Amino acid sequence: MAYIELRNVSKSFGTGKDRTEVLSNINLEIEEGEFVAIVGFTGSGKTTLINLISGLMMPDEGQVLFKGEPVTGPSHERGVIFQNYSLLPWLNVRNNVGMAVKEAFKKMTKKDRSKRVEDYVEMVNLSPAINKLPKELSGGMRQRVSVTRALSMSPDVILMDEPLSALDALTRGNLQQEILKIWNQDKKTALLITNDVDEGILMADRIIPLKPGPKATLGPEYKINLDRPRDKTALNHNEEYKKLRNGIMEYLIQIGEQRASKKENTYTLPDISPKIRFKPFSKISFS
Ligand SMILES: Nc1ncnc2c1ncn2[C@@H]1O[C@H](COP(=O)(O)OP(=O)(O)OP(=O)(O)O)[C@@H](O)[C@H]1O
């Protein structure tokens, strides 16, 4: 039995002629402890996919199963790290993370909870800012708090919706390593949504492209058989990595071109119905 399973999942938005099927017939199985990355174009339905797995949205057709049971709503067993840091503006860093820890570890003593918060804040190098409000932090710092908050709850599954896309290369690299460390140490299951193929190869066991919508479906999967821990710089000289990267990029370029040519080839035909009425032949006389 797969840990997470999507069976023939479809999701539409809107009604009547404005209805758009964003995801169509998605089938996906993720094993316990696996790290899967979905790469896709902007607007292809990646967030919708994460929302369906987290339980924030329900599919129109098909089923989303977690440990064999249908997902009926959100749960802290499946922690989501969102693209846009969603912190409570009136709480400082300590309390933003603390609230999540309290929710996930209701029976933990106050002292242990406090220690856990401090350890996780330390992990993303935010200890000096622990008493600051979100408005006093930079965008990158806020995103780090958001990542910390999700990880501090120790979810069984870490669902990541482009969590690092707005960060500078250094912070991004550090957080990639922190997420990998927690995934590996605590034997988590992870699903990363990204538009960065290199990030996917660095982190995941499998990469699956999401074909652009409407009616987005999953493309062929690419297994990443590179040893861990993976070093970004060393990977650049690794033949297996180069081959894999080229293969995925070629596939994405090809489906991107198909999407563009579909758009270009949509023509509105001119009205060519005759405007002049001819007399029937019988009325023409020959002399
Ligand atoms: N609640 C909603 N109501 C109506 N349309 C929606 C809703 N959520 C998403 N959509 C539409 O579904 C499509 C896919 O959106 P989604 O956010 O899943 O894409 P995405 O791949 O995550 O995009 P991005 O890379 O820009 O974050 C878009 O066309 C979007 O407008």
Helices 139-152 & 93-104 angle (0-180, nearest 10):
20
- Give me ligand 1 centre to Cα 80, in Å: 17
Evaluate: CB of 212 within 6 angstroms of ligand 1.
no
Q: What is the pLDDT of residue 286?
A: 47
Q: How far is CA 195 from CA 40, 47, 114, 208, 273, in A?
A: 6, 12, 36, 11, 48
Vertex 155: Cα angle to 197 and 27 (nearest 5): 50
Closest residue CA from atom 29 of ligand 1? 43
- Give me ligand 1 centre to Cα 22, in Å: 8
The contacts of residue 231 (CB under 8 Å, 6+ apart) are none
Closest residue CA from atom 2 of ligand 1? 13
Specify the DSSP element, H or E, that contains 244.
helix 239-264
Evaluate: CB of 26 within 6 angstroms of ligand 1.
no
- Per-residue model confidence as pLDDT tens for the chain (287 residues): 899 999 999 999 999 888 999 999 999 999 999 999 999 888 889 999 999 999 999 999 999 999 999 999 999 899 998 877 789 999 999 999 999 999 999 999 999 999 999 999 998 889 999 999 999 998 888 988 998 998 899 999 999 999 888 788 888 888 898 889 888 888 899 999 998 999 999 999 999 999 987 889 999 999 999 999 999 899 999 999 999 999 999 999 998 888 777 665 554 555 656 555 555 555 544 44
Three-class SS of residue 148?
Answer: helix
Domains and CATH numbers, the chain: 4-77+155-283 (3.40.50.300), 89-153 (no CATH)
* 146, 175 Cβ separation under 8 angstroms: no
pTM for the model stands at 0.86
21-46: burial string, b at 16+ Cβ within 10 Å, e else: bbbbbbebebeeebbbbbbbbeebbb
Q: What is the pLDDT of residue 249?
A: 94
Evaluate: CB of 43 within 6 angstroms of ligand 1.
yes
Structure tokens at 170: 């250094």
**Residue of 10, 19, 41, 47 best suited for mutating to test ligand 1, as the one with most atoms within 8 Å of CB:** 47
Evaluate: CB of 51 within 6 angstroms of ligand 1.
no
